[in-house]
Chains A and B, each alone.
Chain A
Amino acid sequence: MNFEHILFSIEAGVATLSLNRPDQLNSFNAQMHGEVREALKQVRQNSEVRVLLLTGEGRGFCAGQDLADRNVAPGSAAPDLGESIEKFYNPLIRQLRDLPMPVICAVNGVAAGAGANIPLACDLVLAARSASFIQAFCKLGLVPDSGGTWTLPRLVGMARAKALALLGERLSAEQAAQWGLIYRVVEDSELREEALKLARHLATQPTYGLALIKRSLNASFNNSFDEQLDMERDLQRLAGRSEDYREGVSAFMEKRSPSFKGR
């Protein structure tokens, strides 16, 4: 499968998807959306894959929507941006959240607009020290999309979420980590290696159990305490039936390191 706007590879359980329109700061056009969708489909269907690493080529991570793809000529009818979100962004965000494996995002540079919110749909976000997050929507008269209005208040609290969304100022990677928006900051030169190290580790872990962890934490914001307790019961029931749980217990008993298959 040859892609033009992304780089995609699968190696030793790690799928790496890198946005690759560096001259446009990896902003999304319809074709890139299609290629990402195709790659994610392969990730989902390939039982070898146990972790996804998402990153970008060049100096930016992703500048969101390519506005050249969306030019509003004066006098023309108002575009239906809802349709573009329904067709492209929402399915992408849902896919990342629903993938039954950990998704690591390595933010290698500026992440703006939808590009700032796509990482927040991933599970573990690393950012290069020089990276930054910009909720640029307000500068164009738009609303944060790709889950931004949902994830921001949950990650950084309402006061900071509103400041980010209403002011659209640049948030440094450093600050983002301090605020709890992302997991951690690493030196620019080390980002890719650190992210890969994390990915290689996760590719050896009990993937099915990790998928259930992800499912339960994603649901926790919408569930009542009681519903969440019920969900923990149900998911633990499933986890307890996995081969990896059996292996984990016997490895512990036999004082050896476990060999997980992800099932």
Chain B
Amino acid sequence: MPQTLAVQTHQAVRLITLQRPQALNALNTELLGELAAELDAVENDPAIGAVVITGSRKAFAAGADIKEMAERDLVGILNDPRLAHWQRIAGFKKPLIAAVNGFALGGGCELAMHADIIIAGEDAQFGQPEINLGIMPGAGGTQRLLRAVGKSLATQMVLTGEAITARQAQQAGLVSEVTQPELTVERALQIAQTIAAKAPLAVRLAKEALLKAFDTDLASGLRFERHAFTLLAGTRDREEGIRAFQEKRRATFTGQ
């Protein structure tokens, strides 16, 4: 049983709730480890088609655990076990949706950016305040943020440490939808259910192709997309999808 997460299953969607209320869900090593282990389990569970990750009404996650960080010296950071957990989260193959209310700061903002889709409550705040501690983002904050919001805003956020609102985040492209805070998780679950009802192999390859856009040139990205597209031609779900469309009925996908 995880100590720092609550896990529920809603039909084909796993809802993971970060639970360290005393520390505004600060991401300590234990929490990241439990999250990575949970994603491992979901990866191997064919009944789950998508994951929603959320925090509390007040904080998605307000950063890394400063106490824990202070105890690591140079060598400690070089051997940091957290890196493997982050890589596990980044390598997760099923769709991951972050439902963000309140603070998503530092590691919390970085965790949200590991998700494929971010839904934010109206009072959500996104920021990378690491610079205020004489450090800098260390889990993608300088890379994913810049790719999502562009150079000027990302640089401003990382160098001033000042947060942006949910609306600003949506305008900048960091967030796809802004909701009433009470409905953030519900909306994220809705989107996750929609995705979970699609053909799993198509979803998986589409996610992979989308992520490719970040680390290849256009030509290679297009080549990857074409290969993935071609691969799907060998699936039963493709036949079913096309036939259901022709017969004007809802498709039933099996993941084959």
Residues of A within 8 A of B (CB): 231, 234-235, 237-238
Contact = CB atoms under 8 A, between A and B. Distances in A.
B38 to A, nearest CB: 29
Nearest to B187: A234
Interface in B179-212: 179-180, 182-183
A237 B183 CA distance: 9
Contacts of A234: 179-180, 183
Interface of B: 179-180, 182-183
A237 B182 CA distance: 10
Given A231-B180, A234-B179, 4 more contacts: A234-B180, A235-B180, A238-B182, A238-B183
A258 to B, nearest CB: 23
A235 B180 CA distance: 8
Nearest to A235: B180
A106 B151 CA distance: 49
B175 to A, nearest CB: 16
A231 B180 CA distance: 8
Contacts of B179: 234
Contacts of A231: 180
A225 to B, nearest CB: 17
Contacts of A235: 180
7 contacts: A231-B180, A234-B179, A234-B180, A235-B180, A238-B180, A238-B182, A238-B183
Contacts of A237: 183
Contacts of A238: 180, 182-183
A234 B182 CA distance: 9
Nearest to B186: A237
A235 B122 CA distance: 13
Nearest to A238: B182
B80 to A, nearest CB: 38
A234 B183 CA distance: 8
Most buried by A among B179, B180, B182, B183: B180
Contacts of B183: 234, 237-238
A239 to B, nearest CB: 11
Nearest to A231: B180
A117 to B, nearest CB: 23
A73 to B, nearest CB: 33
A235 B181 CA distance: 10
A183 to B, nearest CB: 27
